[in-house]
Amino acid sequence: MITEMLTLASMGLNIYKGIAENSAYQAQAATTRSYAQIQLGDALKEAVRTEEEGARFAQKQKMMYIGSGVEYGGSAVITVAQTKSWAAAEARAQRARGQALLQYGNKTAGIQEGMGRAALIGGFAGAAGNAASYASAKWGGG
């Protein structure tokens, strides 16, 4: 009778542990995905800010050239164009970084979910192993 109770308790604990670990991994995966979305949003905001700052600086450069009596043409135009080009390239890099962080977060979350499923299956498998061991000892010729 005590052996049966211990076997049932062990089975229950294995199942409970698997369920608890699965829940923890699923929560961790949700947090990972959420954080990845936040990182993407931050990167996109930073890209917009970079483009706006680049445009403002390019306009300021143009006004400084005109204000100093330099005819706006030639190398002045090239300098302003390079400023705009730099800002656009930097903004693209920031967007790409945000997308990469999102992809990494989603991959990591997928791995965490898989670990949770494995823990859940392991809990049920452990319970089944306990039952099989008990049955083998009781009726299998031990």
* One-character DSSP codes across 65-87: HHHTT--SSTHHHHHHHHHHHHH
Is residue 39 within 8 A of residue 94, CB to CB? The reply is: no
Model pLDDT for residues 9-49, shown as the tens digit of each residue? 999 999 999 999 999 999 999 999 999 999 999 999 999 99
pLDDT higher than 90, residue 138: no
Q: Which pLDDT value is given to residue 72?
A: 75
pLDDT higher than 80, residue 142: no
Is residue 88 within 8 A of residue 27, CB to CB? The reply is: no
Q: Which pLDDT value is given to residue 141?
A: 54
Fold of 2-139: Helix Hairpins (1.10.287)
| Residue 109: closest CA among 23, 25, 37, 24 | 25
| pLDDT category of residue 3 using cuts at 50, 70 and 90 | confident
Model pLDDT for residues 40-84, shown as the tens digit of each residue? 999 999 999 999 999 999 999 988 888 888 777 888 889 999 999
**Token pair for residue 53?**
């700052």
DSSP conformation class of 74? T
| pTM reported for the whole predicted model | 0.77
The residue ranges of every structural domain in the chain are 2-139
How far apart are alpha carbons 62 and 40 in whole angstroms? 33
